[in-house]
Structure 1
Amino acid sequence: MLADKVAAAGFYTVVPDFFRGDPFKDGDSLQIWFKHHGYDQGFKDAKAIVKAIERNGISKIGVAGFCWGGKVNVELMERAYIEAGVLLHPSNVTVPDIRGVRVPISILGAGIDEVTPPELVRKFEAVLKKKPEVDSFVKIFPGVQHGWTTRYNDDDKLAVKRAEEAHNAMLHWFIKHLK
């Protein structure tokens, strides 16, 4: 499990259930699901989690946001509630969102992604290059689809390799900015 890798690298690791036991499933209506799992509630929940972690004495906080979590993570980075963030195959993140980021950000995108296509990830990178005060790292992983860092076939050697590369990039980002 990815959270175990992060913890093994020496980080206090939390994996909240933002969806309260109701993750999006193939065949669900995305519009109906979003009515019950909006970004506003996700941000409120994430902010409360960050505050609780701080109360436990953790002073440097990094957040990895996968798909839906990418948008919530960007909101945390825009308000500098955290010290560093990583977006892995994010969804619904916009160029104006990236313009507002105030803390180090890494964006790991998929080469095959209709949700956040490589062209959009390149726009994010262009915005970040104009913000030298914000450390950034952007990489598009060829040959993988949206969700590849968490949903891949263990028998597919390329998929496993790309997921491990993304996991390592995320860990290195956190080590660079949080340790």
Structure 2
Amino acid sequence: MAANTNQACCTIPPVKSDYSPKGSMEKIGGLDTYVIGPKDAKKAIVVVYDIFGFHNATKQGADLLADSTKARVIMPDFFRGKPFPQTSYPPDTDEKKQEFQNFFGNAGDFKARKPELEAIADELKKDGASKVGLVGFCWGGKLSVLAGGEGTKFTSVAQVHPAMVDAKDAEGLTVPIANFPSKDEPKEDVDAFEAEVQKKPFAKDSVYKHYPDSHHGWAAARADLSDKGNLENFQDVYQRLSDFFNKTLA
């Protein structure tokens, strides 16, 4: 990887555990959307939240990306106000397991959400963005990779503590990817995914870091920013995302 000559000007601000989001809500692609950053920016980044939907930690991440990339950063509400309830996680009873499956078959259905995501990218381009990046967490990580395949609307994609990691998804990628798994994704699946990325012509522009000390969700709705280790890795992963998008969306 080449050194990032922009390091000094794109260092993210301090991360806070007691945080008030700076963005506002707008309608984009027909969806209620959290928006931060200049509307006339030539680059945009779409954030796909995890199954728990809007959360202050995820919004803080969006704010950090906007600040350090000067991009317009948007987070659409694909679940339309009905995310998976944190009280039902982890799905450790038959009832909760069924609720989990039902969620992925309806609100979390990738085939239904992907066209909505693509319509949002089209709208951002109509508004003046020449390049659009995409980052997803958990469920959103899987959706981001699927949206980075043939005919993609995105210049680059990223996944953080992704759900359902599958090397076949990596085979389909056509743009650079930043890949930041946690300790809770099966290591053999993560390794197989990364091996496929390394075969791609854009491997040199892709980045990878495994976070063996961080739990699934540490950078989004399950972040505990009062925990020193979680806080440090939260800061680290958003710095790496910022560097990645500053390079690929330049």
Q: TM-score, normalised by structure 1?
A: 0.93
Kindly report which structure 2 residues correspond to 1:148-163, keeping only aligned pairs within 5 A, or say none: 148-150=218-220, 151-163=222-234
Corresponding residue to 2:149 among 68, 72, 78 = 78
Superposed displacement of residue 106, structure 1: 0.8
Question: How far, CA to CA, are the matches of 1:120 and 1:93 in structure 2?
Answer: 6
Q: Decide which structure has greater helix share.
A: 1
- Number of corresponding residues: 176
Larger Rg: 2
Q: Is the 8 A contact 1:118 1:140 kept in 2?
A: no
Amino acid at match of 1:131: K
Q: Percent identity?
A: 33
- 1:36 matched to 2:106? The reply is yes
Report if the CA contact (8 A) 2:141-2:163 is conserved. yes
Shift of 1:84: 0.5
Give every structure 1 segment of 4 or more consecutive aligned residues whose post-TM-superposition deviation is greater than 3 Å: none
Corresponding residue to 1:21 among 81, 88, 91? 81
Aligned-pair distance for 1:162? 0.8
Unaligned runs of 5+ in 1: none
Which one of the candidate residues 192, 209, 213 is aligned to 1:143? 213
Q: CA deviation at 1:160?
A: 0.6
TM-score (normalised: structure 2): 0.67
Task: Give the match's secondary structure for 2:217.
Answer: coil
8 Å CA contact retained: 1:108, 1:139: yes
For 2:182, the aligned partner's letter is A
Cα pair distance change 1:159/1:133, threshold 3 Å: closer
Q: Which residue is equivalent to 1:12?
A: 72
**Which residue of 185, 189, 196 corresponds with 1:127?**
196
Report the more deviating stretch, 56-65 or 136-145: 136-145
Larger relative contact order, structure 1 or 2 (CA cutoff 8 Å, min sep 6) = 2
- 1:89 equivalent to 2:148? Answer no
Opposite residue 85 of structure 1, the aligned amino acid is V
Q: Tell me, which stretches of 5 or more residues in structure 2 are unaligned?
A: 1-59, 89-95
Tell me how large the CA RMSD over aligned residues is. 1.3
Contact 1:62 1:174 in 2 (8 A): yes
Question: Contact 2:214–2:233 (CA<8 Å) still a contact in 1?
Answer: yes
Residue 101 of structure 1 and its aligned partner are, at CA, apart by 0.3
